[in-house]
Amino acid sequence: MKQFYPHFKVYLISFAVIIFFVSLFLVYKKEKSSPAVAGSYDLKEIRKRGKIIAVLDRNSIDYYAYKGRPMGFQLDLLRRFSEYLKLPLEIIVEDNYAKSLKMLGTAQCDIIATNFTILKEQKKHFAFSDPIIQTRQVLVQRKRSKNGPSYIETALDLAKKTVYVKTGSAFHNRLISLSEEIGDTIYVKDSVRYTSEMLIKLVSEGVIDFTVANENLARVNALYYSNIDYSVPLSLEQNTAWVIRKNAPNLEYIINNWLKKIKKESFFSAIYHKYFESEMQSFNFKSEFSSFNGNKISAFDATIKKYSGLIGWDWRLLASLIYQESKFRVDTVSLRGAFGLMQLMPITAQGFNVDSSSSPEENIKAGIMYIKWLDNQFIDRVEQQEERIKFILAAYNIGLGHIFDAQALAKEHGRNNQKWDNNVDFYLLNNSKNLDSLVRNGSVKGRETYAMVRKVMERYHHYKNLIAE
């Protein structure tokens, strides 16, 4: 035993050293995978990442789809801001406020654009942009009726009443304060499952009697639900704003400068009127092609779903392509002669036995078969299907040969010719400047195709956020 002990001691020390360095590595790895927890994640880091990421809430004002078009007050603002930054915009849907704030703190998003009310307590932990709009909190109840529940005329009447609100919202805190002010109990029920707009619907249907909402949202919902009353205010006018990380002062500065400019432009007043004051909102909401009412993108959803499986595509991706090509208008004919929902060129259509007199279903099926043919041309050139889709979209728009040329140029100049973004797309845009032996199909202005691929993929992302699979 005495002879063994010195060796055991050496082994023990060695083992301890190994554990120490392994622990350091794991801590380092963890820190690397958690950006902005301790340090700064500001505009410089966002630009390096290559996109601006915002959290939105699905509702009939800020973010929804109508007849295949993603729309909304906050979406329109964010799109304009991303154009100002010259950065692509990515939208994440998150209805839970606590989760949104956690994502912001860990740099999984950069902006929360969900009509946050600026509260003193929140300002200790997060930064707010300059106010975007003003609103106040109102009680939402059914209009006075003989057989209905007790009608609330003032906040004092809420004593001993049960009010449902969205979990984590400013409405909860306001009701607790109001309970203190009136000297009686208001029973506040937090709802994780339902958004403010869903709760308004439940009030209209008689499932619950009371909820609280921002007045602008309640006013728009009253256009849909004629039995809704929102006349009882529960707060003074309050500012709503975007929420930003405290360790992103440059982002905060550029947002506020941009807001000062944009609010003076006709664009801001136009979108405010469109989403908060126009009665067209009621028409949009009631349509079966609204993401809130019928969950349909177009009248051709069943056919799109039927044939998208032939190419292994999500039907919403195919729908995004068709919207890009024809906006679902069957009689669309381009200046070059492309026709129908899939905008097939006559020579391509002929190869799949369709023409301008063919039915919408036949047109879609022919377009699918053409996509399948394009997929076969790229299958040995682009291994990952997710990447290959972008190549197929580009070839669908501009032709196979020009994409092959762009791949050849990318490879020649040391780029990845199996990656589209910032690789092959760059050489499609710059094809006309590289008239060498690699360009076998002639020079081309690829900007339209470049934009088309981005728009189809962006719209598909919105469809995934808004339309059930």
pLDDT tens figures, 452-464: 999 999 999 999 9
- Establish how many alpha carbons lie within 13 A of residue 251's alpha carbon, considering only the half-sphere containing its beta carbon: 30
The conformation of residue 148, written as its DSSP 8-state character, comes to S
Q: Two tokens at 152?
A: 């609330």
Can you name the residues that pair with 188 across neighbouring β-strands?
163
Task: Please tell me the distance from the alpha carbon of residue 104 to that of residue 113, in angstroms, as a whole number.
Answer: 11
Strand order in the sheet with 211-214: 187-191, 162-166, 211-214, 137-142, 228-233
Per-residue model confidence (pLDDT) at position 300: 98
Q: Two tokens at 229?
A: 């009353």
Q: Two tokens at 376?
A: 């076969």
pLDDT tens figures, 177-221: 999 999 999 999 999 889 899 999 999 999 999 999 999 999 999
Q: Two tokens at 378?
A: 């790229």
Q: Are 149 and 207 in contact (CB under 8 A)?
A: no
Per-residue model confidence (pLDDT) at position 314: 97
Confidence label for 435 from pLDDT (cuts 50, 70 and 90):
low
Each domain of the chain, given as residue ranges in start order, spans 43-129+244-284, 137-235, 301-466
pLDDT exceeds cutoff 60 at 29: no
Per-residue model confidence (pLDDT) at position 36: 44
Identify the residue with better confidence: 200 or 35.
200
Q: Two tokens at 374?
A: 């394009």
Kind and range of the H or E element at 242? strand 238-244
Assign a CATH topology to domain 137-235. D-Maltodextrin-Binding Protein; domain 2 (3.40.190)
pLDDT tens figures, 41-73: 999 999 999 999 999 999 989 999 999 999 999
Per-residue model confidence (pLDDT) at position 432: 56
pLDDT exceeds cutoff 90 at 369: yes
What φ, ψ does residue 57 adopt, rounded to 5°?
Answer: -110, 130
pLDDT exceeds cutoff 90 at 285: no
What φ, ψ does residue 229 adopt, rounded to 5°?
Answer: -120, 135
**Amino acid code (one letter) for 148:** G
Task: Please tell me the distance from the alpha carbon of residue 445 to that of residue 406, in angstroms, as a whole number.
Answer: 12
| Cα dist from 226 to 27, 96, 285, 381, 388, whole Å | 58, 28, 13, 58, 49
Q: Are 128 and 244 in contact (CB under 8 A)?
A: yes
Assign a CATH topology to domain 301-466. Lysozyme (1.10.530)
The share of the chain scoring above pLDDT 70, in percent, equals 90
301-466 matches 137-235 in CATH topology = no
Radius of gyration for the chain, computed over Cα atoms and rounded to the nearest angstrom: 28
Q: Are 114 and 100 in contact (CB under 8 A)?
A: yes
Q: Are 271 and 331 in contact (CB under 8 A)?
A: no
The conformation of residue 424, written as its DSSP 8-state character, comes to I
The conformation of residue 123, written as its DSSP 8-state character, comes to G
Q: Are 266 and 161 in contact (CB under 8 A)?
A: no
Per-residue model confidence (pLDDT) at position 23: 41
Q: What is the CATH number of domain 43-129+244-284?
A: 3.40.190.10
Confidence label for 404 from pLDDT (cuts 50, 70 and 90):
very high
